[in-house]
Amino acid sequence: MILRPAPIDGMVVVELEKHGDDRGFFARMFCVEEFEAVGAPTQFVQGNVSRTAQAGTVRGMHYQLPPSSEDKYVRCTHGALFDVGVDLREGSPTFGQWWGVELSAENGLGLLLPKGVAHGFQTLADDTEASYLVSSAYAPTLERGLRHDDPALGIEWPRPVSVVSDKDASWPDFTPDAAIDLDASPVLEER
């Protein structure tokens, strides 16, 4: 694997080092020692998969508050998607900034997103499947989100947005007071 830092502090692009022959290839997609060497998360408690029928669909931008903040490791196993992180961490040098990268079954790239970074993606092909590992289980009372089209964020999606859920379209506007203190006490209020 080749682990490259992304422009958002703490985000890491994972590139497979493929060893191939006439059968295809073999590559490692996770290694505790290599992840630890770059400060990437190594403890995952849940694996998720999503399949999206229509290209242009946006899922996200999702995150969870402490103590259920999530590190995520995202890969695209079928089709292609544009994966985006928005830094919401209080005191981070990249707070309020977004960055995205194309993940596809063909390019084999993965993206690690640290706790306090909102995550979402846009599908670039029909029937796209994303697979991701998370470091905390889903906690509905601590789930939050950002709108994909919030002008304060200015995310530049590569395609016109064709589908977004009602829930994802209804998240509040981003403001600087949305900073997440990862050491804060739990927030137990319902959205």
Q: Which domains does the chain have, with CATH numbers?
A: 2-17+27-173 (2.60.120.10)
- Do 136 and 63 meet the contact criterion of CB atoms below 8 Å apart? no
Q: What's the one-letter identity of residue 141?
A: T
Tell how far CA 20 is from the center of its chain: 29
Q: Say what the pTM is.
A: 0.92
Q: What is the phi/psi pair of residue 112, to 5°?
A: -100, 130
Query: Is 132 known to be catalytic?
Result: yes
Tell me the pLDDT band of 159, cut-offs 50, 70 and 90: very high
- Selecting among 63, 73, 119, 132, the annotated active-site residue is 132
- 106-131: average pLDDT: 97
- Selecting among 62, 63, 73, 148, the annotated active-site residue is 62
Task: Look at residue 178 in the predicted model and tell me its pLDDT.
Answer: 81
Task: Look at residue 191 in the predicted model and tell me its pLDDT.
Answer: 44
- Which stretches within the chain are classed as H helix? 32-37, 166-169
pLDDT in tens, 23-66: 998 989 999 999 999 888 889 999 999 999 999 999 999 999 99
- 4-26: average pLDDT: 93
CA distances from 121 to 5, 33, 140 (A): 19, 28, 20
- 64-72: average pLDDT: 96
